[in-house]
Amino acid sequence: MMEYLPRTTRICVLPAGKPLFSECATSVEIEDDVGGEFVVVRQDTAPGRGSIAINPDEWKAVRKAIDDMVAQCRKPAA
C-alpha cells in the first residue's frame, strides 16, 4: 500500500477578517514545472497585472511565508 502524506504548498497572507479573494491577499506557493520546485508570490491575479505591492505592515508575515515555502521545496530526483 502506498503511503500518503499531507503537504502544504500554499500560504495566503491577508489582513485579519478579510476573505481569501481580497485584493490585499498575498499568495506564496510552491510550484514545479518539471525542472524543480520554486516559490511564486502572487497578489491581485487580475489579467495583465504582473507586480505585487507589499504593505510594510505585512512584510514580516509575507517574508516568513516565503522563507517557509523555500525551505519546503524539494530537490529534483537525480
- With respect to residue 52, please indicate whether it lies within any of the assigned structural domains: yes
Beta carbons of 16 and 50 less than 8 angstroms apart: no
- With respect to residue 2, please indicate whether it lies within any of the assigned structural domains: no
Count Cα neighbours of 35 within 13 Å in the Cβ-side half-sphere.
Answer: 3
Q: What is the pLDDT of residue 3?
A: 96
Domain that holds residue 56: 10-72
pLDDT digits (tens, 9 = 90+) for 18-64: 998 888 888 888 988 887 888 888 887 666 566 676 777 889 999 99
- Number of domains, the chain: 1
- With respect to residue 54, please indicate whether it lies within any of the assigned structural domains: yes
| Residue 44: closest CA among 21, 11, 28, 12 | 21
Q: What pTM does this model have? A: 0.73
CA–CA gap between residue 3 and residue 23 (Å, rounded): 38
pLDDT digits (tens, 9 = 90+) for 65-78: 999 999 988 877 66
